Amino acid sequence: MAEETIFSKIIRKEIPADVVYQDDLVTAFRDINPRASSHILIIPNKLIPTVNDVEEQDERALGRLFTVAKKLAAEEGIDQDGYRLIVNCNAHGGQEVYHIHMHLVGGEPLGPMLVS
């Protein structure tokens, strides 16, 4: 079984976070170390450690990541100029928290690659 992460505690509101969206499938909150003027993490409420752990039954929640990203991009006013959606997988992919998450990043020109 996957180990709980800090994201699990954010979902349950056990630790503070700037939550901008939450429903029964996903939670979205502002990154505490933003890489652009708009940087929001969108996570499934179910703990899925990496993309390699995704199962067919996770498709609804993972699809919701994209519809919530679209909604939040519009609310942030970055939908027309553009934004980037990033999902990292494992250490070489840059994943730091092992609870799958999508970064919604924008609000300024990002260039050809977002550097960490």
Does pTM surpass 0.95? no
Beta-carbon contacts of residue 5 (< 8 Å; ≥ 6 apart): 47, 97, 98, 99
Considering its fold, how many domains does the chain have in total?
1
User: Is residue 111 assigned to a domain?
Assistant: no
The per-residue pLDDT for 104 is 98
- Would 1 be classed as within a structural domain? no
Secondary element (H or E) of residue 21 = strand 19-22
CB 102 within 8 A of CB 40: no
Could you tell me the residue range of the domain that residue 100 belongs to? Answer: 6-106
CATH number at residue 56: 3.30.428.10
Question: Which CA distances in Å does 1 have to 4, 11, 58, 92?
Answer: 9, 18, 16, 23
In a domain, 57, yes or no: yes
Burial of 86 per CB tally in 10 Å (0-12, 13-18, 19+): middle
Among all residues, which ones are annotated catalytic?
101
59/84 Cα distance (integer angstroms): 21
116 domain residue, yes or no: no
Q: Give me 64's structure tokens.
A: 């919701």
The answer to whether position 115 is within a domain reads no
pLDDT tens, the chain, 116 aa long: 578 999 999 999 999 999 999 999 999 999 999 999 999 999 999 999 999 999 999 999 999 999 999 999 999 999 999 999 999 999 999 999 999 999 999 999 998 875 55
